[in-house]
A = this chain, B = another copy of it.
Amino acid sequence: MKLLVKSFLIFLLLGTTAIAADPLASWNDTGPKKAIIEFVEQVTRETSPNFVSVFERIAVFDNDGTLWAEQPMYFQGLFALDRVKALAPQHPEWKTKEPFASLLRGDLKTAFAGGERAMMEVVMATHAGMSTVEFEKIVQDWLATAKHPKTHKPYTEMVYQPMLELLAYLRANGFKTFIVSGGGVEFMRPWTEKVYGIPPEQVVGSSIKTKFELREGKPVLMRLAQLNFIDDKVGKPIGINDHIGRRPIAAFGNSDGDLQMLQWTTAGTGARFALLVHHTDAEREWAYDRKSSVGRLDKALDEGKAKGWTIVDMKNDWKTVFQFEKK
């Protein structure tokens, strides 16, 4: 109990200080920042007609392209490529077997000419066949050493400073923050608590099936080369319903993969908030939208504009982009 009191007091102090010092300091004073603050004030002020009890303050965040970057490709894809290289000595047959042979030669284009089937083969070869505990260690070890090909920063520093501030601001206002990502749930959980302050139990993602086994009397969960759930597009509201079991009042995304999550969130009664991060900053980050193969933002951009969702123009609305830029 004592510890709890202490942590809570510290949290209050930090919260108060942060608010005094502008909790959204990396956001320019443009539309999105104002819309966020207005929404939060609306749902937290007890006398507001749109007041929402603390139990119902659920906010969901996409991860790739919303909380961290996703170029030149989804970081989990880069993880898979590194794993193929690391595992190649144990798989001499990969030298002549596609898509592995092309991958090992660095020819991604030929490797993925096989489309989704080829992609799935790589995912299963690198994500299945070990226990959940073993996989967690593989992810942690990779993150400890791997560097982004362009910035040469660790991937866990390729997170957006404005979004970190937003997460903290929402939590300081009684929100429970969840990740709802197309990425693998067990690829995210080892680091989301440290990086975003989001505990494993508040991470929803895609998954493969696992199997309970007793290994010399000790239970393990083995990761099987079999899809369980794709937490993308129509899968996002399904994942939200399955894991959270109540409708969020705020949703944050950046691509067409988030469209149904934003539709589902805004279809509830009372005040609702939907935000799309539009990648418009070729200099500090990347500029892409309707024609990108990664994080395509096309239908959701049209629908967001039509429905008055908040659209972040990264170039104009963010003072700082990456956490590592902050002095």
Contact = CB atoms under 8 A, between A and B. Distances in A.
B1 A172 contact: yes
A201 interface: yes
Contacts of A245: 185-186, 189, 200-201, 203
Interface string A93-136: 00000000000000000000000000000000000000010000
- Kindly state the interface size class of chain A when it binds its partner: 35 or more
A237 B133 CA distance: 13
A246 B210 contact: no
A2 B241 contact: no
Given A3-B54, A200-B244, A219-B260, 9 more contacts: A1-B16, A2-B46, A132-B241, A199-B246, A201-B243, A201-B244, A203-B245, A212-B237, A212-B264
A171 to B, nearest CB: 10
Contacts of A143: none
User: How many copies altogether?
Assistant: 2
B210 A238 contact: yes
Contacts of A238: 210-212, 221
Nearest to A242: B207
Interface stretch (A4-12, A281-289, A315-323): A4-12
B176 A3 contact: no
Contacts of A218: 267
